[in-house]
Chain A
Amino acid sequence: EAGVAQSPRYKIIEKRQSVAFWCNPISGHATLYWYQQILGQGPKLLIQFQNNGVVDDSQLPKDRFSAERLKGVDSTLKIQPAKLEDSAVYLCASSSRTTSTDTQYFGPGTRLTVL
């Protein structure tokens, strides 16, 4: 079974520029998550989708971050404009919600550096 795919793996931009990340979850997984992991910290949830609907975006800085999952499969996370403090690894995870554990499986992440 293929895992969660993310691209690009690395991105370097200047502040005030825009950037987009892409995620393809495990096939059949209805729930998709985007996390931000700042160096030295654990991942922090930004947004959770169930199919193509948003379940939780309470931690998403909506003035600059947006995310979509139009067909309930792939998802994109966008930052516009980027700030220095957005430098982090952006992790995508998915879960099936077919078992009570709702275990999340993570992709390799996109490392963003904002200069």
Chain B
Amino acid sequence: GEDVEQSLFLSVREGDSSVINCTYTDSSSTYLYWYKQEPGAGLQLLTYIFSNMDMKQDQRLTVLLNKKDKHLSLRIADTQTGDSAIYFCAATDSWGKLQFGAGTQVVVTP
């Protein structure tokens, strides 16, 4: 089955760029997602990328997909304190089910 892995923690200074990395195992994954979870809240969809794309940009967010290496990254430009949260990578498995990583806690320091 699909296995999604992420680094657990990232500390970044306000104004710098953040890069969160994710790897997945199922080469048939069709869609890959990034969700944001703030304390006490549900998951907020940030962006997604289709597997036939290698990059998608949406305002401060850039998603890069290396399908050969099964590697996904999320870059947040000009990181703000409001970006402090847990970020989840998720990939559809061969059954179409969404498999989540354990989440990367991003802490933005002034």
A sample of 12 more A-B contacts (CB under 8 A), given A56-B97, A106-B35, A108-B41, is A6-B42, A41-B102, A42-B100, A42-B101, A43-B43, A45-B97, A45-B98, A48-B97, A56-B95, A91-B43, A103-B48, A106-B44
**How far is it, in angstroms, between the C-alpha of A20 and the C-alpha of B100 when the chains are bound?**
25
CB interface residues, A 71-115, toward B, < 8 Å: 91, 93, 101-109, 111
A22 nearest CB across to chain B (Å): 15
Cross-chain contact of B103 among A42, A44, A93 (Cβ < 8 A): A42
Within 8 A of B (CB), among A30-89: 40-45, 48, 56
Residue of A nearest to B101 (CB): A42
7 closest residue pairs by CB, A with B = A42-B100, A106-B42, A106-B43, A108-B42, A109-B42, A107-B42, A42-B102
Specify which chain A residues have a CB less than 8 angstroms from the CB of B41 in the assembled complex. 108-109
| Contact B90 A42, beta carbon cutoff 8 Å | yes
Q: Which residues of A contact B95 (CB under 8 A)?
A: 56
Name the residue of chain A whose CB is nearest to the CB of B41. A108
Q: What is the size category of the interface that chain B forms with chain A? A: 20 to 34
Q: Which residues of A contact B50 (CB under 8 A)?
A: 101
Say yes or no: is B45 at the interface (Cβ < 8 Å to chain A).
Answer: yes
A4 touches B98 (CB 8 A): no
User: Which residues on B sit within 8 Å (CB–CB) of A56?
Assistant: 95, 97
Of chain B, the residue at the smallest CB distance from A10 is: B40
In the complex, what's the smallest C-beta–C-beta distance from A11 to chain B, in angstroms? 14
Q: State the Cβ distance, A106 to closest chain B Cβ, in Å.
A: 4
Asked if B102 and A4 sit within 8 Å, CB to CB, the answer is no
Residue pair A42, B97 in contact (C-beta under 8 Å): no
Give Cα A108 to B95, complex, Å.
26
User: Is A101 a contact partner of B42 (Cβ separation < 8 A)?
Assistant: no
Beta-carbon contact of B45 and A105 below 8 Å = yes
- A44 and B96 alpha carbons, distance in the complex (Å): 14
Which chain A positions have C-beta within 8 A of B42? Answer: 4, 6, 91, 106-109
CB proximity to A under 8 Å, residues B30-58: 31, 33, 35, 40-45, 48, 50
